[in-house]
Amino acid sequence: MTSGYILVTGGAGYIGSHTTLCLLQNGYKVIIVDNLCNSYSESISRVKDISGCKSSDLLFFKLSVNNKKKLSAVFNKYPIDAVIHFAGLKSVSESIRDPLSYYHNNVTATCTLLECMEAAGCYKIVFSSSATVYGNAKDEFIKEDAPVSPLTPYGRSKLMCEEVIKDSCISNPSMCAAILRYFNPVGCHKSGLIGENPKNAPNNLMPCVTDAMMKKVPMKLYGEDYATHDGTAVRDFIHVEDLAAGHLAALRKLQSIQVSFCKIYNMGNGVGSSVKEVIFTMETVTGVTVPFVVSPRRPGDAEKVVACPDRAFSELKWKPVKKLEDMCSSAWNWKYSNPDGYKMEKKMNFGGNHKVMLTKLKKNFSFIDHISISRAA
């Protein structure tokens, strides 16, 4: 444990908020930097409520990581022992339409962050990367040394960030980095208070599934002609709470190291599930139909991406514990409890009291009790 703060960029977002909660529950103090371009400050309020932390243990600054002047001021004012870097744009399809935004917000911002870290004498970073860097991998289970060939500007921006961090570690013997390549994070916190709530139209599978269930409007299933067992794309899904625990494990690994270090870790279950399997599991767990229509494949979508996570299991002493059923039930619990996402509280006027909010929501949605107790615990 350290006496300083852990700086979490993008900490108001989906994975960032869950990781912040995990850090607080394990005795860390956190500073969140987030420009809220695709997230809500309400998630931070809810993290405070769930954790019961002191106000001084969780600080928030609304700013872009690209704002070097303001970011440097944060580093200069507070003792920061390490950084977990989530901030960045993450839509595959959007990156194809607007690649320059992705290179600016992902790559340039990472350079700015590293410059601020070095100036402040902060040399430990956990980086949020992606399995999209592997592209159409040929191996059944992808290892960290597999060839990288990202198919989209988003994937290329993540790979560029990795290279920037690697080069920083080579040039500065004090720098230590853990690069975490996520496979497919899904699910939400068991409380139902924080979850995945993109401001724009959802691109990830699970929000599309729960939107279709809630609105009774068919979602698009992109591609039914892949060379997989049911024709739909196969992915390695990991519960976001397991992924948050993986960040904690990576942070502890870096804190135990006194020499230059930079290593890549796959963060996945090592089990592939197809899009249809996710849909049918969701229907089985909840008893609610998931309407969908088959559409053509999307550009940039790989056929099968499944991790070999053995390195993370052995070196980080971490292993995911939640199953696909847990992922589906917790995602539906979040959506059913918060049909308008983080806008729900203002709309229903609960005055910032999330315990009151959850009590009232349970009265309105009888399904929540069943999910919270039997599935998301």
Q: How many Cβ atoms from other residues are within 10 Å of residue 20's Cβ?
A: 33
Contacts of 274 (CB under 8 A, 6+ apart): 228, 229, 230, 232, 233, 234, 235
Q: Are 231 and 224 in contact (CB under 8 A)?
A: yes
Q: Give 60's strand partners.
A: 32
Question: What residues does 184 pair with on adjacent strands?
Answer: 237
Active site residue 154: yes
Amino acid 51 reads: S
In terms of Cα–Cα distance, which of 13, 2, 25, 86 is closest to 245? 25
Residue 59 belongs to what H/E stretch? strand 58-62
5, 14, 103, 154: the catalytic one is 154
CA distance 375 to 336: 14
**Tokens in use for 334?**
């979040």
Which one, of 369, 376, 368, lies nearest residue 335 by Cα?
A: 368
Which residues are known to be catalytic?
Answer: 154
